[in-house]
Each structure stands twice: as structure tokens, then as C-alpha cells.
Structure 1
Amino acid sequence: MTAVPTRAQAGAFNLRQLWTSLPDALRKLSPRELWRNPVMFIVEVGAALTTVLAVARPSTFTWWIAVWLWLTVLFATLAEAVAEGRGKAQAATLRKTRTTTLANRVLDYDERTDAGAESARVESVASAELMLNDIVVVSAGELIPGDGDIVWGIASVDESAITGESAPVVRESGGDRSAVTGGTRVLSDRIVVKITSKPGETFVDRMIALVEGAARQKTPNEIALNILLASLTIVFVVVVLALGPTAGFAHAAPTVTVLVALLVCLIPTTIGALLSAIGIAGMDRLVQHNVLAMSGRAVEAAGDVNTLLLDKTGTITYGNRQAAEFRAVPGVAASELVEAAARASIADPTPEGQSVVALAAELTASGEGFDTVAERPTQPSENVVPFTAQTRMSGVDFADGRQLRKGAPSAIRAWVVERTAIPADIERVFDDQVAEISRLGGTPLGVATVDATGCARLLGTIYLKDVVKTGLKERFADLRRMGIRTVMVTGDNPVTASVIANEAGVDDVLAEATPEDKLALIRREQEGGHLVAMTGDGTNDAPALAQADVGVAMNTGTSAAKEAGNMVDLDSDPTKLIDIVTIGKQLLITRGALTTFSIANDVAKYFAIIPAMFVTAFPGMQALNVMRLHSPDSAILSAVIFNALVIVALIPLALRGVRYRPSTVSTLLGRNLLVFGLGGIIAPFIGIKLIDLVISLIPGF
């Protein structure tokens, strides 16, 4: 895929982003903005109180504490502003596609006519004036004025402004590829489009709102974590407020500045500062993969999915059956069959027909076919016989009377029988080949020839099979290790479906599936406590997409499918569902990892502040001063500075996400505790000690 140059690149992070996001970060310092984040709101209140104390009773220590508390709040808003800024860069690209254009609105459209709008009256209006169900005509070179479905015609459309894909796509009426998006350009032909969106509610409008974060709602898990953080904050507020009077009985009452510093270092400021950025970055990573999530809930649900419904055609297989083997009947040389099959496929433009030519060339190169297959089958002939649905054959007729045919076995047998009786042993082998290929889940094709004397012969069969995409078996194995069950859904018969399922390595298969069967399967899985994800592009997929916890609609699909799903894949690549699940899990792992780090981080800060607060009144507390910090004031200030700097240090990780490796839940938990739990304890000891060494060089400390 060729990406639009102006798109923000995934994982990009640099100091320039911090600088450009600074104005937004300063704006977010407003209490009206910050109160939604209880942890950082408490820090801001503490910073304001400390600033008042520094003005009323100036001291170097109080001013240092005030400055670093304000920086702590600023770094938190900066993390969120940087995450939102990446979305705004995406929105800037999308906004260019929303340029107001003139639309040719049809006044008296007649659906009964073939061309629909050929002779109808047309008026030019601004695209913003188009209403739901309006009919417009779009010709080559014109922009499609709004989201809609093609009701007549076929055209090549440039969707690069939306998808980043430079290659044009074909859109046509009457199928699952009839949906078009406002702002894309028709490159050829002429189409009639029925508008399916209201003004201001187009697909591009929704994309802009979502990637900018304007429509982003907190997910249930995020809300629950916010409640937990708020509860911990309230507990520590009560503890700190009670600490002053309690310590006063021992004549060791700390100052208000020290109590504020203690509170800020005890509450989970690290995860409180980064929580919003993690959620925004999760949706942004999907946008970088050209997937639009309609809500943060959908991204989060993707991380919890444990059942994947995957369509066979186009997802597990390449979508077009390809030639895999030539099988000659007795008395026919393999080279003769290969040559005849390849030459007979010249006039067959289908992917299957072209795959026959490709396999013949491959066998020739390996010495298994005949000498000049790479050249001879591609030589033009004036006597080609094109493939048609009526004859179900294609081939070539030579000037000397020879003929070659390739096609459906029954059609080939009938073609031979019209000219010559088929020997019983040859017919039996031919029938056995056809039956075996069918039993393996493949599609058999027959090959026959007529010589210059008019004598017809069966030459053999071609084995066409669904080709499983490379690497899928390994990816399914990874999903299995993650505890995710894969189900292949197909309309094929059970025998064919079973063969493909075994080759692909999926866990289960639903054969001869109807839309009702898909919906019933999803409901059964959900009743069993599973979260289900699936892809679809047709109107008949809409009920299942709506029922699934994660429904990924293809951008090439119908408007009904896109409305039913909670994600839209702009590239229309069904296999991307696996990537979506990975991104969802990465979001949850990142949130869990940084929460673990934040709580473990607080443990180490206790050893910096608590001994420093009471060591004068209780000399025995010196035993807890394991870091041997310079002085009580430098210890407290070092902890506050570290508390602020660690937020900036973790912004890139929050945006990029913790690297995800497919493994079991217990393994992930163990790695999480080892890396981020243990790391969260060790890092502050090192960081606070280094900061203390620097502060000890400042006069007055």
C-alpha cells in the first residue's frame, strides 16, 4: 500500500511534537478541563496551594516544590495533547477531501430506465445542500459530492485521499461494492449515486471527529480504572490530612508544603497522567493501520476478543482458486497435457484460467513440463475460443483443424463424445480424477483435444484449489496461544470446508453458512461468555456485524454493513481483523503495564519522603533512609522532580504501546510484573538518588 505523504507515521515521536503540542497542553490546565481527571486535578489544587504559600512565606524549598508540581500537571496535559495532536494530523489530511464541490442533482430520476438519469433534468447545487436520498450524477474527473450507493453504472474511483491507496478501485451498482465516499474522485465512466448521508454526517465528517478525539468516549474499563484511581486519591488525601494532627502530638508536624508533596508522590500520578493518552493512542494506532474505530469501546473489546469469525474467501484464501496440479489420463504424456491446458487458457481472462498458464510456465522452468511453455501459450492466435458461461469452456482452434479445449468436466466430456467414443478405461480414470479432486475440496477442470483428422481425446484434468494465504497457519497458532478460538465461515460444502480448515489451521468451521447461521453462531458464543469479532462487506452481513462485539465492515462494502459495524477497514482487507485484535490487546497491556509501574513507583517514593519527614523527631527513622539522601528537603524535592520527569519519559511508551508478543495470560502477567512491577520499584531508587546528588550541589540544600 502506498501511503499519503502527509499522514502521520505510526510510532512517530520527537521533541518537536512536544513543542507544537505545548499550547494545547497549557489550555488543558484549565480546571474546567482538568476536573475530568481526578488525580491530576488534585495535583493542580496542590500546586496552586503551594504557590500561594510560596508567595505568602517565600522560601527556596517551597518555590521549587511549587514549580515542579505545576510541571507535573503540565506534563500530564502534554501527554494527552501530543496524543490528540497525532489525531489532528490525520484529520488535516482528511479535511482536504471535504472541499465543497458542485453536485449534479437529478430532479426527476426514474429507476425503471436503464441509465436512470440519461434524459432526466439535472441542477447544479453545492454538495453541502444535498439531502438524504437525493440522486446525483457523477462523471469522469468529478468528485463524488457525498456518501452514497451506486444505483446505476460502473466506474473506476480514486480513493487515495481516504484510504492512502494509490491504485484506483472499481465500484458498481447491484453488489457489495456499490458504496462510494464523498470526496473521492471518479476516474472513468459515469455513475448515478443515491446519497445515504445527511449534511455534516458524512463518513469523512465522522472520521475527522473521531481521529481528533472530539467524539471519543471513555471505555468501561477506562472509567473503572479512573474510579479506582480516584478512590486511591481520596484515601491518600484523608491519610495526609490526618497525618498532620497525628504527628503534631509527637511535636513532628510537617509543613503544608511537605504534606502536599507527600500526597502528590503517594497518589498514582503516573498512570493518572498517561491514562487518557493511552486510550487516544490506541485509536490512533488503528487509524495508522487504516482502520476507523467508531468508539474506544470497540478498540478495547478487540483486546478482550476470544472468538474470531473469519470468512474463507478473501480472508483465509486468496479468493480465486488457482491451478495446483495437472493429472494426465493413461497414454497421455504430462508435457502434452500441460501444453494443451496452457494454450487452451489463452482466451480465459479469469484468474483461474491465468493461473493455469502460470503453473505451466512454472513446471517448464523446473523441467517438469515442456520446453517452450513460457512462450508458446502466450502467442496471439486469431482462432481463440473465449470462455463463456454457456459453453463453460475456453480453447483455441488451429488452421490445420486441430482444436484444444479446457473447462468444466461435464462440458469437456460432452464435447469429446460429440466427436468420438471415449474408451471405457480412459473415461473411468477421468471420472476418478474428477471425484478425487472434488473430495479434496478442489475444483476439477477437464482438458481435451481434437487432432487434424477430427479424432477427439480426453487428456486429463486440472486440479484447482483454494490457496491458503502464506503465514496464516502460524498466525492462527499465535492466536491459539493467546486463548483465541478461530472459526472459518464459508458457503462451501463440509468436505471442501474441512480441507481448507485443516490446511489453514483454524480451530473450527461453519460450512454452508447463511446469514442466519452466522448470527446464530455469534449469539451462541456470546451466551457462553465469549467476545466475538468478525468481518463483512455485504448487506447480508449487517445483522452479524451489529451483533458481534467487534464488527469490522469493509470500506468497499454496502452502507448497511458500514453502519452496522463498529469499525471500518479503509483498505478492505479482511485479514486485518487479526491486526485489530493485536492492537486491542496492546492497548490493554499498555494500560496494565503502566498501572503496575505507577503503583510500584509509589512504593520507592515512600522511602524518600517518609524518613525525610520524621527523621528529625525520630532519629530511628534514619534506618529507612536506604538511599542515604542528602537532606530532608532534598529528599522530598528529589521525589517530586522524579515524579514529574517519569511522566515525560513514559509518553513515547504510552503512544507507541508496550510491545505485544502472543502468549498465555499467565505469561503476560508474569512478564508485566517482572518488567514493570520490579522496574517500577528499582527506577525511582536510581532516579531519586541521581536527582538528590544534583540538588545537593545547589546552595541552600
Structure 2
Amino acid sequence: MEQHHHAHTDPHTDHERHSGGHHDHHAHMIEDFKRRFYICTALSIPVLAFSEMIQGFLGVEFSFPGMGYVAAALATFIFLYGGWPFLKGLKDELSEGGPGMMTLIAIAITVAWAYSTAVILGLEGKVFYWELVTLIDIMLLGHWLEMRSIMGASKALERLAELMPSEAHRVVGNDIHDVKISALKKGDIILIKPGEKVPADGKIIEGDSDLNESALTGESKPVQKSEGDSVIGGAINGDGSIQVEVTSSGEDSYLNKVIKLVEEAQQTKSKTQSLANKAAGWLAYIAIGVGAVTFVVWAFFTSQGMDFALERMVTVMIITCPHALGLAVPLVVAISTALSAKNGLLIRNRTAFENSRKISAIVFDKTGTLTEGNFGVNRIKALDERSEEDLLALAGAIEQSSEHPIARGIVNEAKKRELKLPSVSEFGSTKGKGVNAKVNGIPYQIVSPGYLKEEGINLPEGAHSDQAETVVFILKEGSLIGFIALADQIRKESKDAIQTLKDKGIKVLMATGDNEQTAKAVASTLGLDGYYSQVLPHEKSELIEKLQQEGHHVAMTGDGVNDAPALAKADIGIAVGSGTDVAAETADIILTESSPSDIANLILFGRATYNKMVQNLVWATGYNVVAIPLAAGVLFYQGIMINPAVGAALMSLSTIVCAANAQLLRFKFK
């Protein structure tokens, strides 16, 4: 399987090239904005100090020969250095289909710089350098804040590839050689020791063992595999040694298919344009349109002259770009991201988080999300004179030597009840049948229902229920003395959380790799709107797509590799914290706790955050309704005309209101 390794490493390295590269590029851009912001802000101080208008505000007056030229030189540097990302952004936006935030900022700063420099060089009019530098500083700050709070480059594909071990034990005759996975070929025989990861898809030709495939398929119980059964690369071997014949080379391997699905879904995720950008696009049209009309009207239809017309046009075009617009959304983002993180909610994709208010259907993975993901004791039944506690202590003592999840569940329950466990001797286990040991010299066995059937022992009454239970039986000297029923425990918070979601009109579904009986029991206990059992990763992804085609805005919640493609495909992927890194890296939102109640809170908080953004945009652009007509000189003949100083005061006020409003989010987190 020469290609096998390439199949695992090529998407991996290939992805690393653009994921790693993209990650570095993003980090570099954040640093770049930060540096530009600090340098420009420092250089803005003298520009503000030299401004007649600011001096007038502060009631001070000073000047020196050539002060205007010094201000012009500093402002020109700030315009070229601090304004460069916006000027470049203008070019990108216009070539990509329309003006947005960058266009609006670029127009305002270019007009302010060009006009002010012309005034310094002799044109009749006012200098707007202070407007220019503060606008650049605030916009740099807004972009820096925004980029910093949404950074989180995806390393999902590297994580997936890491599930594969790097070496395999190849069997040639009686010899065993350790070889790199890249050296494996179809038809090779490999040995997999207890506890090791399976290095390639294949078929067991010798031995039997329990394989833990939960990270890959979502099946909560380790699967008993023996000769003739197929195994998946990346699964973890239990306590048996197996020999496997390699069946699929890398390109066709199960894990590789999951990697491809994740990659495709990540690439097709829609890039919703942010609201602020749309608002800025409209304002760019308004700035140019109203500015041009203002100039034409004053220059050709009044006696005020060209200088006056030009000054009005410039005032309109600068005032149309509100400082507050640059901060309206980033401030809310920064606060909501910080607040969320403090409350165990990590936001990796801001658009998805803002869109959480639209969720109309949510698909839960079962194991580890709605349920605890480990076996707990449901019922204990003693069939002789001993008590439940005695039976549990006996079973706990015997199972202490076993690593099986069922054994762990029994031992944990005995510890939880603080039972004193008797001492055991001669512990042994029979694959797929159970374990045996002596307690006080008497032989005991803990066995599966299959063993009872083989031995012709009838199942006791109550050993079967309609719940998703696994039942083990305890035998003393070959006769039945009781049984213990275990199940993957449903989380305490699941029921309330699902009720909250249903009350909000959201359709709640479950998709699980587990069997029909287990899925049905969990779905009916929790009152779900529907469930899908024995679902493979690509089927989860298809289910999400089907719901999207029905017009639903779909959220997916999961914690395993098997959920990764569906998390990437969903409108909003929510990974729960106890899960794998892969799930976390493909999700838009990560919950550090695994509580479903956090998901309900997330949706409510997403709605509150979105509302704050809209309010801020209304504030940021609302003052334009008043400022633009006044700047254009609509009431000039009534003696009312907005000068840049008043425009600046209004601008500052709307920025303060936006900042204060964003802080109110702190009271919204449930």
C-alpha cells in the first residue's frame, strides 16, 4: 500500500500548506494591523495638536513656522501607511463585485487627504487632517479587534491524519518487521497488539478482540471482532492480539474518505457577508452620490463659488463614513467572544454564531452528547438470599482485573457506593463469553446472555427490558445467582435542554452510530422529534443536507471523528468539549462542557449578540440621516450648516453610544 501513506499524508500536507499557510497569514495580518494602529495613533497626537479646530476645542493656541507642512507630512505618512490596507481593500472589493467597508473608508480618507493637502498648497478651504488621522486610527483598531477575536485556523485534517499510527508490524513467514505505513501494500499481513491502533483497513485472519471504533463510527460499545471481520484504520484494539490482511490502500480507506468529506464541506461553507459591510456599501454609494449632487448644486446653481462647493462636497464625503461603523460590530464581537469563552463557549466562526438565531432544526449525536458516553449500572437483581450491594461488591471485585467498559461501569458503581470488595484469586477471561475468578475459594463467573444460551440456562425474569441495556449474569459454581443491567447513561441536563429548544420552535433530531434499540430508547426518554440509528459519517452529512434542502437552518452537535463531516456541512457545527480534537476543529462553536443545556443558552446568546449588532449599526449610521443633509447645506439659507467640528462631535457621540451598548451584552448571558 505504497499509496496508503500518501493518501493519509497528502491531504494532510496539502491541507497543511493551505491551512498552516492560511493560519500564519492570518496571524501575520493581525500583527500588521496592530503595528499600524500603534504607529499611526502615536503620530496622530501631533497632527491633532496642530489642528486649529482641536486647539479651539481645548482653548489653547500655538503655532510655529511651517506647522501646516509638518502636519501635512505626518498626515501623508499616516494616510499611506495606516490607510494602505483600506486602499488595497477598495481595489479588492470593487474587483469582487461591489463596495463595502473598505471602499467607504478608502473614499473618506482619500478625499480628506487630497483636499487638505490642496488647501495646504494654497486652495481656499479648511484642513481635515485631524479627521483623516482619527478615522484611520479607529478603523485600524476596529479591524484589529475583529480579526483577533475570530482567529482560529482549522487543523482538522492534520488531526484526522494523526489518528493513524506511524508504523505497523508486518508479518513475513515467522518474522515480524516494524515498517512505516507507507511501506504497506494491499494483501500484506500485519499484527496488531493489545491496545494499539489499527494501521490500515483490513480483514482479521487470526485472533479475536474487542475494537473501540467510537471515534470513527460513533458506536458506543467496543465491537467484538473475530476471524473474517473487517477492521477500520484508526480504531483502537482491545486486549486481544489479531492478525489482519490489509484490504484497502490509502485512497479508499475509511479514514481518508472522512478526511475528504471534511475538506469538501469546509470549502463549501457559505461566506455570509457581514451586516456592517452591507451598510458600508450603501453608505459608499450615498457618499459619492450626495457628494456629487452637493458639489453640482453649490457650484452651478448658487453664487457661493467653487471653493465653497468643494468644501461642502468634502464635508459630506468625510462625514458619511462614521467612526462608529468601524467599531459597531467588532466591539460586540470582542465582548461576546470574551464573555462566551468565560462561560465555556468558544466561537471559531463568527458568522455561524450570529446565525444561530435562525436555527430551525438541530441534530444531536448521542454518545457523549445526550448521553454520558460511558456505561453506568441501571439495575441490579440478586436471585438468591444475598443483597443487591453484596452482589455488586462481588461483581466489582471480579471485574477489577478487566479493562472492558462494562467492567469499568460495575467497578465505578461499587466505588461510588463505597462498598468493601472481597479479595479474588485465579482471575481469567474467555473472549466474548465473560470473566471468571475465585472468591474465598468458590468459583464465580460473570457472563454474557450468549453464554447462558450455550449452557442451556434460562434467562431469569426481568433480564430483558425495552431499554438500551447490556445485561451481564453472575454464576456461582455454575448456577445463576443474579444479574446486573448497564446502559450508557442519559445526561441529567438533556431533557430540560431539549424541552427549551422545542419551546423555541426548533426541531430536535438525533443521529447515532449506535443500534436501533439504544437509539429508540434514548429518543423516547427525551421526547425527540425523530432519530436515526446505525448512521455512518457520510450518512450524517447526507442527513444534514436533506434537512437543508427542506429549508431548515441546521445545527449539528457532536464530539467524535465520525461527526466531523456533518459538523462541517451543517450551517452551524457545535462540538461538545469532552469530544475529540477533530470534532472541535471542524466545528464553528465549541462547548467546553458537554452539557446540552449550554446549546440552548448558546442560541439565546446568539440572538442577543445579533440584536446588539443591529442596534449598533442603526446608531452608527443613524446620525447620517441628520448629518448628511446638514453637511450638504440643505438649511444653509436658514443659517444652519454643519461644520466639521459639529460633525465630529456627533460622530464621537455615536461611537460612545455603540461602545456603551456593546457593554450591555454582559447582562444578557444566561
Tell me the TM-score normalised to structure 1 length. 0.57
* Cα distance change of structure 1 residues 357 and 557 upon mapping to structure 2, 3 Å threshold: closer
Of 369, 375, 385, the residue aligned with 1:321 is: 375
Corresponding residue of 1:383: 426
Correspondence for 2:363: 309
Match of 1:407 in 2: 447
Give, in whole Å, the separation in 1 of the partners of 2:303 and 2:174: 93
- Matched to 2:112, the amino acid is A
| Cα distance in structure 1, aligned partners of 2:166 and 2:398 | 48
d(CA) in 2 for partners of 1:176, 1:556: 23
70 and 110 in structure 1: CA distance in 2 versus 1, 3 angstrom threshold: same
Cα–Cα, structure 1 residues 389 and 555, in superposed 2: closer, same or farther, change >3 Å? farther
Contact 1:609 1:635 in 2 (8 A): no
- Choose which of 613, 627, 640 in structure 2 pairs with 1:594: 613
| 1:348 aligns with one of 402, 405, 410 | 402
Q: Which residue of 2 aligns with 1:567?
A: 586
Q: Assess if the C-alpha contact under 8 Å between 2:361 and 2:506 holds in 1.
A: yes
Aligned to 1:141: none
- Paired with 2:621 and 2:566, the residues of 1 have a C-alpha distance of 46
**Runs of 5+ unmatched residues, structure 2:** 1-22, 24-32, 41-80, 94-101, 160-164, 186-196, 203-229, 237-245, 252-261
Question: Among 420, 445, 454, which residue is 2:472 paired with?
Answer: 445
Q: Give me the CA root mean square deviation.
A: 6.1
What letter matches 1:476 in structure 2?
I
Q: 1:204-603 to 2 correspondence within 5 Å?
A: 220-222=271-273, 226-227=277-278, 229-246=280-297, 256-267=310-321, 270-271=324-325, 304-329=358-383, 331-363=385-417, 373-374=419-420, 376-377=421-422, 379=423, 381-386=424-429, 388-390=430-432, 392-398=433-439, 400=441, 402-412=442-452, 431-435=460-464, 438-450=465-477, 457-513=479-535, 518=540, 521-534=543-556, 548-549=570-571, 567=586, 590=609, 593-603=612-622
Which letter does structure 2 place at the counterpart of 1:62?
K
Deviates more, 1:592-601 or 1:462-471: 592-601
> Residue 236 of structure 1: CA displacement?
4.1
Distance in 2 (CA, whole Å) between partners of 1:547 and 1:640 is 42
Matching residue's letter, 1:38: T
The structure 2 residue matched to 1:75, chosen from 116, 138, 141, is 138
In 2, Cα distance between equivalents of 1:112 and 1:598: 67
* Runs of 5+ unmatched residues, structure 1: 1-6, 8-16, 99-103, 123-129, 134-147, 154-172, 180-191, 197-206, 208-214, 366-372, 418-426, 451-455, 623-630, 663-701
Equivalents in 1 of 2:580, 2:635: separation in Å?
71
How big is each residue's C-alpha offset from its partner over 1:661-689, in whole Å with a ceiling of 9 and x where there is no partner?
68xxxxxxxxxxxxxxxxxxxxxxxxxxx
Q: Distance in 2 between matches of 1:406 and 1:331?
A: 18
Segment drifting more, 224-233 vs 343-352: 224-233
Change (3 A) 1:494 1:302: same
Q: How much has 1:465 moved relative to structure 2?
A: 1.8
Give 2:431's aligned amino acid: A
Structure 2 match to 1:55: 120
Q: CA deviation at 1:313?
A: 1.9
> C-alpha distance in 2, partners of 1:568/1:513?
19
Residues 496 and 218 (structure 1 numbering): CA distance in 2 closer, same or farther, change over 3 Å? closer
* Matches of 2:171 and 2:600, distance apart in 1: 45
Change (3 A) 1:218 1:514: closer
AA at the equivalent of 2:135: T
Q: Kindly tell me: are residues 265 and 317 of structure 1, through their superposed partners in 2, closer, same or farther at Cα, counting changes over 3 Å?
A: same
User: Contact between 1:589 and 1:658, CA under 8 Å: does it hold in 2?
Assistant: no
State the partner residue of 1:184: none
Deviations along 1:50-89, whole A, 9 cap, x unmatched? 4224414589x933x431233113311232134445678x
SS in 2 for 1:324: strand
Deviations 1:401-442 (A, max 9, x none): x2233232453576695xxxxxxxxx6xx632112xx31222
Task: Give the Å deviation of 1:322.
Answer: 1.3
- Deviations along 1:13-61, whole A, 9 cap, x unmatched? xxxx9678535982645622444322212211232134224414589x9
Judge conservation of contact 1:406–1:412 (CA < 8 Å) in 2.
no
CA distance in 2, matches of 1:301, 1:447: 53
Q: Distance in 1 between matches of 2:589 and 2:627?
A: 51
For 1:118, the equivalent position in structure 2 comes to 177
Are the aligned partners of 1:39 and 1:268 in contact in 2 as well (CA < 8 Å)?
no
By how many angstroms is 1:524 displaced? 3.3
- State how 1:564-643 maps to structure 2 within 5 Å: 567=586, 590=609, 593-604=612-623, 606-607=625-626, 613=633, 617-619=637-639, 634-642=645-653
Q: Deviations over 1:135-154 (max 9, x none)?
A: xxxxxxxxxxxxx994499x
The whole-number CA distance in structure 2 between the counterparts of 1:395 and 1:149 is 29
Residue 441 of structure 1 aligns to a residue whose secondary structure is coil
Change (3 A) 1:226 1:614: closer
1:46 aligns with 2:114: no
Aligned to 1:137: none
For residues 462 and 622 of structure 2, the distance between their equivalents in structure 1, rounded to whole angstroms, comes to 72
Aligned partners of 2:355, 2:629: CA distance in 1, in Å? 41
Deviations 1:601-630 (Å, cap 9, x if unpaired)? 4434555675685666215x69xxxxxxxx
Paired residues of 1:586 and 1:659 also in contact (CA < 8 A)? no
Shift of 1:541: 6.7
Letter in 1 for 2:368: G
- How far the C-alpha of 1:269 sits from its partner, in A, is 5.5
CA–CA distance in structure 1, aligned partners of residues 603 and 645 of structure 2: 42
Post-superposition Cα deviations, 1:320-345, rounded to whole Å, max 9, x if no partner, equal 22113312336443344333333332
**1:231 maps to amino acid:** W
Paired with 1:476 and 1:114, the residues of 2 have a C-alpha distance of 57
Q: Distance in 2 between matches of 1:416 and 1:304?
A: 58
**CA gap 1:317/1:539 in 2 versus in 1, 3 angstroms:** closer
CA contact (8 A) 1:275 1:591 kept: no
3-state SS, counterpart of residue 489 of structure 2: coil
> 1:642, 1:312 → 2: CA distance?
50
Question: 2: distance between equivalents of 1:235 and 1:320?
Answer: 60
Distance (Å, rounded) in 2 between the aligned partners of 1:566 and 1:600: 36
Q: Name the aligned partner's letter for residue 408 of structure 1.
A: S
Q: 1:114, 1:475 → 2: CA distance?
A: 57
User: What SS is found at the alignment partner of 1:396?
Assistant: strand
The structural deviation recorded for 1:467 is 0.7
* Greater per-residue helix proportion: 2
Cα 1:504–1:266, aligned 2, differ >3 Å: closer, same or farther?
Answer: same
Task: Please give the alpha-carbon distance, in whole angstroms, between the structure 1 residues aligned to 2:292 and 2:174.
Answer: 78
Q: Judge conservation of contact 1:409–1:445 (CA < 8 Å) in 2.
A: yes
- Percent of pairs with identical residues: 18
Asked if 1 retains the 8 angstrom alpha-carbon contact of 2:283 and 2:320, the reply is no
